[in-house]
Amino acid sequence: MKFYSTNNKTNKVSFKEALMQGLPLDNGLYMPVSIPDQSKLVKGISTLNIKDISYVIAKSFLDEEFKNSDIEEIIDYSITFDSPLVNIYGNIHILELFHGPTLAFKDFGARFMARTMEKVVSNNNKELNILVATSGDTGSAVANGFYNVEGINVIILYPSKKVSKIQEKQLTTLGKNIHALEVDGSFDQCQSLVKKAFLDLQLTKKINLSSANSINIGRLIPQSFYYFNAFSKLKDKNDVIISVPSGNFGNITAGLLSKMMGLPIKKFIASTNANKAVPDFIKNGFYKPCQTIQTISNAMDVGNPSNIKRIINLYDKIDLLKEDMLSWSFSDNDTINTIKMILKKYKYLLEPHGAVGLLGLENYTKNLSKHSGIFLGTAHPSKFLDVIEPEINQKVEMPERLKNILDKEKQSIKMKNNYTEFSNYLLENFI
């Protein structure tokens, strides 16, 4: 399978190039030149587990460039946890995507990307060094995804004292090939240091640098696996509606791709918080980026979602898009009330992102007599203790693997917001 840039359909590259490059030079995003037909997979899906399903889908994108045994290994190493479909009430289910090492759905994408990159580098004799600036969650999913991956180092830059205690532990306690730099500055300054390094020819001549940003095609493909897997577990497979709490719109793009591959989903709902560039686009027919607004579902605080380029690229006309996807925005107040109500009535604890997803689903299905509804649970509630605990007046249970991290010792390298210091560090450690 080849991949083209959304800015220029004639600019085609292999999967490996798209993976290692991340972004096309023309500033578009990579998309597959054709969409594999998975209707055969759908027919027999009820007997398959998530690894079987993932293998079939991955193969349809990767088989020209990877051996079958390599694809099997990539799936084996990256899909190491389940994603249960849990009934909340009536026909409404949550797809729990937070059972991975960093308790968020980003683990799927990060782990698959890491293992595919590992296969690519294993044929080179030079180590690859991945630079990531993070304000918290993306960094920990990437760090965990690459942990123990042969031939790849990860260097994470995070703003000192500006990430939560749990996030900092997740970034700084892995060790081995994961290196955490604690920068005396802001997230934007961390990002500038990384950008400068990529443009520094003196440095890139000597060190093999790469990025692992969230719009890498290697993170998008694996996100389709769990849509198929959720469908396979549904008892009632008619009129399936899926609501996706959306920020940068990568997750829902993978959902729309799954539908185009043949997964029979009637409608996708892109549920957002107050950042409503996409709901406004669906309503008004033209796309306009917004200023980012801070909310309690902060992983979705995105004013100008990158993946909207991919979605517009998939649909020629907005009317066609509207047949597959609707989008609404919900307030923090509604989000909190939903968390409280669902806990009280059904004894299930949501976190803010999942709650936004449920709001979107309920908004669509309230007038439907027949449907099967799924919303995506994108993170574990314990990642958002500070928001949830004061509202529900009780403690949120923390999973064992998160508790264990809190006992580990932080290992970071302190650094000023100074490019010379940063590049010297790279030259001294990673040549």
Ligand X SMILES: *Cc1c(COP(=O)(O)O)cnc(C)c1O
| 219 near ligand X, rule: CB under 6 A | no
Among 378, 387, 388, 415, indicate the residue that binds ligand X (CB under 6 A): 378
| 94 near ligand X, rule: CB under 6 A | no
Write each residue from 102 to 121 as x if it is in contact with ligand X (CB under 6 A), else as -, in one continuous string. Answer: --x-x---------------
CB nearer to ligand X: pick between 71 and 270: 270
Among 74, 114, 379, 415, indicate the residue that binds ligand X (CB under 6 A): 379
Among 96, 107, 137, 332, indicate the residue that binds ligand X (CB under 6 A): 137
Catalytic residue among 106, 259, 276, 309: 106
Q: Which stretch binds ligand X (CB under 6 A): 122-130, 159-167, 242-250, 282-290?
A: 242-250
CB nearer to ligand X: pick between 401 and 416: 401
| 300 near ligand X, rule: CB under 6 A | yes
Would residue 106 show up in a list of annotated catalytic residues for this protein? yes
CA 229, 230, 235, 237 dihedral sign is negative
Q: Which residues of 183-199 are buried (b: 16+ CB within 10 A; e: fewer)?
A: bebebebbbbbbeebee
CA distances (Å), origin 125, targets 69, 121, 150? 21, 8, 11
Q: Which stretch binds ligand X (CB under 6 A): 115-123, 172-180, 239-247, 320-328?
A: 239-247
Look up residue 314 and give its two tokens: 């998939």
CA distance 110 to 47: 27
Least Cβ distance, residue 379 to ligand X (angstroms): 3
DSSP secondary structure letter of residue 370: S
3-state secondary structure of 322: helix
CA distance 63 to 70: 10
Among 353, 355, 422, 426, indicate the residue that binds ligand X (CB under 6 A): 353
With beta carbons less than 8 A apart as the criterion, state whether 270 and 320 touch.
Answer: no
Secondary element (H or E) of residue 133 = strand 128-133
Tokens 């595919």: give the residue.
116
CA distance 95 to 391: 24
| 159 near ligand X, rule: CB under 6 A | no
Q: Which residues of 318-338 are buried (b: 16+ CB within 10 A; e: fewer)?
A: eeebeebbbbbbbebeebbeb
3-state secondary structure of 94: strand
| 249 near ligand X, rule: CB under 6 A | yes
| 349 near ligand X, rule: CB under 6 A | no
CB nearer to ligand X: pick between 132 and 197: 132
Residues that contact ligand X, how many (by CB under 6 A): 15
Q: Which stretch binds ligand X (CB under 6 A): 46-54, 246-254, 320-328, 385-393?
A: 246-254
Residue positions annotated with a catalytic role: 106
